[in-house]
Structure 1
Amino acid sequence: MSGFFEIKDLHAYYGKSHVLHGVDLRVDRGEIVSLLGRNGVGRSTTIKAAMGQVDAQGSILFKGEQLIGLKAFQIAHKGLGYVPENRDIFPSLSVEQNLLLGQKSGKPAAGKPRWSLDDMYRMFPRLKERQHTAAGVLSGGEQQMLTLCRTLMGDPDLVMIDEPTEGLAPKIVDLVAEYLKELRNRGISVLLVEQKLAIALEISQRVYVMGHGCIVFEGSPQDLRGNQRIRQEWLEV
């Protein structure tokens, strides 16, 4: 039986540099899965490959369809959302204009989208306060909220999020954790690339640990808590 989102024997390259060496992972419907590991081991490359942004070989199946060979916009239209680490906002546009840009035009009318502007403002009241403010003057935390919400406005079935808590104050990190739980409550799957072990273990159903372009551990948060060797060898600085 094929999963909802399934990566098999994934190899990826930057020029002649071989970055991913046969990665296998899966995300089921309504599941939060975290991909952990130190910087530079290939976590971001894995989700970029799934989004068609990196040369890759192997298999990436989403809802039974092969993504390898498709362009990023085609992948997005199949219901895959991607929140990059660099918070790609449009600085001169207002918060609300940025959110509206996230809506997919020409998406098949399979009913009402799951998310509205009101949903975004309810989850992050700070965005409502600043809805007419240029996005470029927002704080880092506010820009992260905006990027997350703009992706949701495209009504994805799976969201891949790269380091959403990087550089954020602890209070904002807690907000992001609540946001991720809200996604799961609405039946949206999440593949989370994260450095902070605590948040990943708190919200995930399953975790993968990556080292040197390979998966070196797969299991539940409880399994990882109990495996000191893996934590010391592949996660702790």
Structure 2
Amino acid sequence: MLKIDNLHAYYGKSHVLHGVSLEVGKGEIVALLGRNGSGRSTTAKAIMGLVDSTGRIEWRGQEILGKKPFEIAHLGIGHVPENRDIFPKLTVHQNLLLGQKGSGKGSRWSFDDMYTMFPRLKERQHTEAGVLSGGEQQMLTLCRTLMGAPDLIIIDEPTEGLAPKIVEQVGQYLQKLKASGISVLLIEQKLTIAMSISDRALVMGHGSIVFSGTPESLRSDPRTRKEWLEV
């Protein structure tokens, strides 16, 4: 579904991505791993048209490099950014409402689905999002993106700030997304969850892909883990 070839990205004169190539198939969870500053979040932003980039980014065979972020979103790609980007003065329910496309009819996800996924959001559905805890805001951002019924969701550090029980719940729900045919590009530092739910693992270092393989092959590659992942 998503195919990236020889992607370079820039922040002004700073050259951040150096020839990144990767693919995400239908109903596949691909983990994009690496230390902070390795280029993972920039890759997500490049896909969504948020940074200056060159190369090729194809979505279902269509070139999307150069399109505006809202155009890319309407093609079926959802982005859960690391900084959350909630609307602080709107309630939880209003934030979810803004995630819907059009009237929301025919969406594969409902408000009840989101509140079942995270009961805490149901409890706080009439609360302004700006007063939520960091973990609650992370839940809200994930659910707001799902309300747009994406076919691919790029999720950046979804477990950051979440309690261990909620981390496990997020992993289970990402697997449910996969079972429903949704593709996931998971940017994560916690190897435990990434390795347990992903079909393939990619490791980034210095703006390039330095490893591509199965979680099992990464587990059996201590050299790669030590050089590019372990602190």
Structure 1-normalised TM-score?
0.95
CA separation in 2, counterparts of 1:185 and 1:64?
23
Amino acid at match of 1:195: Q
Partner of 1:48: 45
Q: What code does the residue aligned with 2:174 have?
A: L
Which residue, out of 155, 178, 186, partners 1:161? 155
2:154 aligns to what SS in structure 1?
A: strand
Where 1:86 maps in the other structure, the secondary structure is coil
- The match for 1:121 among 103, 115, 121 is 115
Counterpart among 100, 104, 112 of residue 103 in structure 1 = 100
- Aligned residue in 2 for 1:76: 73
Kept after mapping to 1: 8 A contact 2:135/2:160? no
Q: CA deviation at 1:105?
A: 2.2
User: What is the CA deviation profile of residues 156-196 of structure 1, one whole-angstrom value per residue up to 9, with x for unaligned ones?
Assistant: 00000111112222122112112211211211100011011
What is the percentage of aligned positions where both structures have the same residue?
Answer: 69
What secondary structure sits across from 2:143 in the alignment? helix
**Which one of the candidate residues 12, 26, 30 is aligned to 1:29?**
26
Alignment of 1:77-96 (within 5 A): 77-96=74-93
TM-score by length of 2: 0.97
Distance 2:109 2:150 in 1: 10
**Over aligned residue pairs, what C-alpha RMSD do you find?**
1.2
Select the residue among 216, 219, 224 that pairs with 1:222. 216
> Which amino acid is the alignment partner of residue 211 of structure 1?
G
Following TM superposition, by how much is the alpha carbon of 1:16 offset from its aligned partner in structure 2, in angstroms? 0.9
Quick one: which of 14, 19, 33 aligns to 1:17? 14
Q: Which amino acid aligns with 2:135?
A: G
Q: Tell me by how many angstroms 1:106 deviates.
A: 7.5
The equivalent of 1:150 in structure 2 is 144
Which structure 1 residue ranges, 4+ long, deviate > 2 Å from structure 2?
Answer: none
How many corresponding residue pairs? Answer: 231
Structure 2 distance, partners of 1:172, 1:24, is: 32
Q: Distance in 1 between matches of 2:103 and 2:109?
A: 16
Q: Kindly state the Cα deviation for residue 57 of structure 1 after the two structures are TM-superposed.
A: 0.4
